[in-house]
Amino acid sequence: MKRFLIGATIVAAAACVPFFLEPRGYVIRVLCITLLFAALAQAWNIVGGLARQISLGHAAFFGTGAYTSTLLLINFGISPWLGMIAAAIIGAIMALLIALPTMRLRGHYFALATLAFAEVMRVIGNSWSSVTGGPVGLSVPFRPDSLLMLQFKTPRPYFWIMLGALVVVTLTFMVIRSSKIGYRLRAIRENVDAAETIGIDTAGTKIIAAVVSGALTASLGTLYAQFQFFFDPDTAFGLASISVRIALIAIIGGVGTVAGPIIGAFFIIPFEELTNSLLSNKAAGVSQIVYGLLLIAVILLEPRGLIALGKTVMTKLSRRKAP
């Protein structure tokens, strides 16, 4: 009950933030992207955190979700909310299809298989120009301000929608983590062979987690499309911009924890924007070098992520204060 009240208070306080920001400003746009990537990292955390299956192919689900809802809107005028449901269903089916042959794989073999899957989707997106628009990409048709069509002139309503999406994905993660599937996934994470020995269906459990994660990621792709209004295959199915970034956020924040992806997103996305704005005009690549060095420093200081690093610092401070 105490945790629920703390969480509800944090969400209520976060919902008030847009009232103190410029409605069309840069800061609120960065916060919207941060919330979206926090939700994406939390969805990835179901597979990568609980089962330690390091997926580098979540961009496949994300891009599919963006294209599904946008094509339904362009060709049939279907609301993006319904498009989001369709995206989630297709994302779940795709996750099932990729999980069936790969869930027996472990470690870097699984990571490479998922990476290849996302690359295949990117190539299809670039080649199938009659449907996806090819390298030219797709633009979401402009409509008047409408909650039904998920379009607004200012980022403020998107902030609340992204926040709501983060809450839904986080609650889903918490429910799974405390359920029987969550305990099975953690047993798989610790030792797959031992989990199979005690009778756990390791492949089936991982497939369920992958399907849920894929469905959530695809539905979040719809929010990205409606927020950005334009995307192309290299953006939506991007390895570095989507797959690696999602995994990195969860790992830097604290993989397998509830707060880790959220802390990781609020650390990485704003810092990335800051280095780009301050250093990108100095010399080519300087901002990326500084950004990369900081991430390396965090991992070297505490491989378990910022949550563990914060606990270590607090413990040392409390020991110094003790008589």
Q: From CA 42, how far away is CA 48, in angstroms rounded?
A: 9
Q: Tell me how crowded residue 69 is: count the other CB atoms within 10 A of its CB.
A: 32
Question: What is the crossing angle of helices 180-190 and 202-228, to 10°?
Answer: 110
pLDDT score at 320: 72
Q: Are 243 and 57 in contact (CB under 8 A)?
A: yes
Q: From CA 55, how far away is CA 43, in angstroms rounded?
A: 11
Q: From CA 229, how far away is CA 151, in angstroms rounded?
A: 9
Per DSSP, the three-state class of 146 is: strand
pLDDT score at 241: 87
Tell me which residues of the chain have a pLDDT lower than 50. Answer: none
Strand boundaries in the chain, DSSP class E: 138-139, 230-231
pLDDT score at 175: 95
Q: From CA 119, how far away is CA 111, in angstroms rounded?
A: 12
Chain segment 139-191, per-residue pLDDT in tens: 998 888 888 889 998 899 999 999 999 999 999 999 999 999 999 998 988 88
Question: What is the crossing angle of helices 26-48 and 202-228, to 10°?
Answer: 170
- CA of 253: how far to CAs of 14, 146, 306, in Å? 19, 35, 5
Q: Which residue has the tokens 């929608």?
A: 161
Q: Tell me how crowded residue 37 is: count the other CB atoms within 10 A of its CB.
A: 26
pLDDT score at 7: 85
Q: From CA 85, how far away is CA 218, in angstroms rounded?
A: 9
pLDDT score at 228: 92
Chain segment 44-68, per-residue pLDDT in tens: 999 999 988 888 889 999 999 999 9
| pTM, two decimal places | 0.92
pLDDT score at 82: 96
Q: From CA 256, how far away is CA 241, in angstroms rounded?
A: 22
